[in-house]
Structure 1
Amino acid sequence: MGGSGRIVLASASPRRLELLASAGVEFDVFASDIPEEAMAGESPEDFSLRLARDKAVAAAARTEGRWFIGADTIVVCDGEIMGKPADEADAVRMLRKLSGVAHAVITAYAIYDKARDGLLCKAVATKVFFKPLRDEEIAAYVATGCPMDKAGAYAIQGGAAHMVARIDGSYTNVVGLPLCEVVEDLRKLGAL
């Protein structure tokens, strides 16, 4: 798509880029850099939805295009919102907390239609079950550096695949973009 009908992904995540491209969607990338801090009393889903919306709208204010897709992925375990770890010790803490238990991966996405000033926002949740992890497994994984830029300190499509016993829901949601839902909504809105 060209000109004002362009789709713009408001994310620098290589995983989101790969997922959207794999669906045959033509798009440009313009990452928006917004603070990712939860507000007092904000639920995990509302937090993720707000960030997705803010990313899409911020990108639309700074570049050309018509359709802007913002997304945010969080891991929620026992009520704790787990974003990207602050450091290696935080990554170890997160992985220990996830060890042997189920948790939710929530990816919210927002599609902003700049021409109509319209916004569609949704959140998709997937339940992920981790096997019990040994301390040496956690240490080896953290030493790879992979967990450092991932919500919940793991990537299901990468080095943590062997840690996931099963999932209930969308695999692409856990990777970072609920592809089925996003593509269907782009079609419904007339972007595809």
Structure 2
Amino acid sequence: MELFDIYLASASPRRRDLLGQIGVRYRLLDVSVSETRMDNETPEAYVRRVARDKARAGLDLVDPTAPRAVLGADTVIAIEDEVLGKPRDRDEAIAMLLRLSGRTHQVLSGVTLIDREEHEALNISQVTFRELNRPECERYWQTGESQGKAGAYAIQGYAAAFIRELRGSYSGVMGLPLYETAQLLQQAGIGLFPDQE
């Protein structure tokens, strides 16, 4: 029988890698929730809501007779209160990168863990890009990294060369702030790091 600590309500391979990094065993849940931002919803409220919706949708898929913790998370890029989601195509990705060029933006990562109760955390990091030009944004698009990434970039990939300064959580910018996630897991009695035999 497969041993696991939590259910992960996320399709993100980065979140899977990050949980594995701290020794948390998980079983994936395939959830689908609306990620449309509501009118007048702040970036903070938006990312918290989507993370909570993912965790709740995951909980609906779990056998209630075998209670387990469900983790949901969401990450967005915000600049001047504008939320940059995942680019739809090449042109939108390049426009996003040029919008971030030479400026500081926020990366917000919301995390919700539901066991017997709901526990939430929010991490906000500040990321400053150097000046970018259109040809290098076009080359970056060709790497494939922009696709499926909020703000059209992945800090753990080629885009690391764009980042002049990071104040906050590297793992949060990747998609799952490990400090806050570990706090939630420990509050729920879920241990970190694999047992050594």
Give TM class, smaller chain: over 0.9
Matched, 1:82 2:81: no
Instruction: Give me the TM-score of the superposition, normalised by structure 2.
Output: 0.91
* Cα displacement (A) at 1:181: 1.3
Q: Which runs of 4+ in 1 moved over 6 A?
A: none
Note the alpha carbon deviations across 1:27-55, whole angstroms, 9 max, x for none.
Answer: 11113111110011111010000000000
1:170 corresponds in structure 2 to 169
CA distance in 2, matches of 1:181, 1:48: 15
Note the alpha carbon deviations across 1:105-161, whole angstroms, 9 max, x for none.
Answer: 000010011xx2x10112100000000002111010012221010000000001211
Note the alpha carbon deviations across 1:146-189, whole angstroms, 9 max, x for none.
Answer: 10100000000012110011100110000000011101221122
* Counterpart AA for 2:27: D
CA distance in 1, matches of 2:189, 2:33: 28
Note the alpha carbon deviations across 1:54-94, whole angstroms, 9 max, x for none.
Answer: 00010110124510110000000121101101111110110
CA distance in 1, matches of 2:43, 2:144: 26
1:29 corresponds in structure 2 to 28
2:144 corresponds in structure 1 to 145
* Counterpart AA for 2:78: V
Identity of counterpart residues, as a percentage? 40
Number of equivalenced pairs: 188
* Cα displacement (A) at 1:2: 6.7
Supply the RMSD in Å over aligned alpha carbons: 1.5
Q: 1:111 aligns with which of 110, 113, 118?
A: 113
2:93 corresponds in structure 1 to 91
Q: Helix, strand or coil for the counterpart of 2:146?
A: helix
Q: What are structure 2's unaligned runs of at least 5 residues? A: 192-197
2:195 corresponds in structure 1 to none
CA distance in 2, matches of 1:2, 1:136: 48
CA distance in 2, matches of 1:18, 1:169: 19
Instruction: Give me the TM-score of the superposition, normalised by structure 1.
Output: 0.93
* Cα displacement (A) at 1:6: 4.0
CA distance in 1, matches of 2:23, 2:15: 13
CA distance in 1, matches of 2:61, 2:188: 22
CA distance in 1, matches of 2:120, 2:34: 19
Q: Helix, strand or coil for the counterpart of 1:24?
A: coil
Q: What are structure 1's unaligned runs of at least 5 residues? A: none
CA distance in 1, matches of 2:8, 2:36: 21
* Counterpart AA for 2:28: V
